Structure 1
């Protein structure tokens, strides 16, 4: 199966072409200066030029749905859904935290993905490999990082994501030898991890697929909708 992966959930955008048998065939990561809408289609075009594949070869589109930058997620999802509809390609939405966890190889340790929400708060997901398959073992949430570390300080944990490196000193101080860090490349999400996660998901309805929100009431979401023109990266969901 050939998968096109798209992630615009942060300031670093990534796209990839991934084959279920051969792995990553081509991957591009770009730091955007202003807005993903200025670069996403050009980046996808370059991806196919470099790989010598076309959209006609793609059998699945995997796109991150959040948490992350509100504007960035909307851009990535609109792009992915537009391609899926135009080319009649199945689509799956992938939680950003899960995709980050796929960057950690099969291990008996618990994996915690952190996305920095600023002021020592993080969005997080807790995972374990069970019988070789990555499983979410605690519902996605957000919290002050101290609360999470206090709960898991006696477990052996591999931390990944930009939040892990933003608060590396604090994690090391509290976790001691029980805290491990994925490699430095895991700060930013890789398109290949989005694609790999997508292969294990049920197909979504392209017309009803929506961004993933953590702990947001309708009133809060209405406020977000009114501030969609804020600078990308300042407003997260």
Structure 2
């Protein structure tokens, strides 16, 4: 079972190749280059350096959101384009679920957070224990203050991961929340691949045309338009 996974949901971008639970190759980059410049070359590189081709791939996976609207669209579009010609099954993985893989070897409550701006974060909570990951809530967008109130009871069992982790840690550290190390903080394509493997085994893949981005709220332009319409155009 060979899975090619891509992630472009935030500033970093990555590609990884997973075969029967083993990571064969991974390419990670965090520069100011746009994902449209870097993602496909990385996908080609992990295949070539592992002596594989797209014809060998059993599943194409992508972090389908939440995250940067542009980044998520680029990642999903790349996977759809690669998959359609060969009708390869696809797995749209929650970005927050992929992040939880960074803490699989720990014990505690993983608080996966992405900065959604305006004092809000995209978030999901997971329990990690004995190498197993259990989802505790659905992906959501909520104010940091509301997340603080919910997570305070976990104390130092709370593990912060994601590009919003450092932002939350400024206040969450007051009750002992722990910030994962920099190399563990951000989502990676390897985490997407491992989460996708579970979906593949459970028969939860989709056809390329059915693969869609996951947005937890409207883009800013649409939110502003809606607000203007609700106020009567004023």
- Give the TM-score normalised by the residue count of structure 1: 0.84
User: How is 1:1-237 mapped onto 2 (pairs within 5 angstroms)?
Assistant: 1-21=1-21, 23-129=22-128, 133-155=132-154, 156-173=157-174, 175-176=175-176, 179-201=177-199, 202-216=204-218, 220=222
User: 2: CA distance between counterparts of 1:221 and 1:198?
Assistant: 31
8 Å Cα contact 1:2/1:57 also seen in 2: yes
Change over 3 Å in CA distance of 1:120–1:6 after alignment to 2: same
Secondary structure at 2:138 match in 1: strand
Structure 2: runs of 5+ lacking an equivalent: 227-234
Secondary structure of the residue that 2:6 maps to in structure 1? strand
Aligned residues: 219
Comparing 163-172 with 61-70, which one deviates more in the overlay? Answer: 163-172
- What per-residue deviation string (whole Å, max 9, x for no partner) do you get for residues 184-212 of structure 1? 21232111100000011111132122111
- Residues 69-92 of structure 1 show CA distances to partners (whole Å, capped at 9, x for unaligned) of 111111111110111111222110
C-alpha displacement at 1:34, in angstroms?
Answer: 4.3
| Range moving further from structure 2, 34-43 or 95-104 | 34-43
Alignment root-mean-square deviation, CA: 2.3
Inter-CA distance 132–31: structure 2 relative to 1 (3 Å threshold): closer
Q: TM-score, normalised by structure 2?
A: 0.85
* 1:112–1:127 CA contact under 8 A, matched in 2: yes
Structure 1 or 2: more helix by fraction: 2
Report the Cα distance in structure 2 between the residues aligned to 1:114 and 1:211, rounded to whole angstroms.
18
Counterpart Cα distance in 2 of 1:223 and 1:95: 27
**Structure 1: gaps (5+ residues):** 225-237
1:228 corresponds to: none
Q: Distance in 2 between matches of 1:205 and 1:221?
A: 30
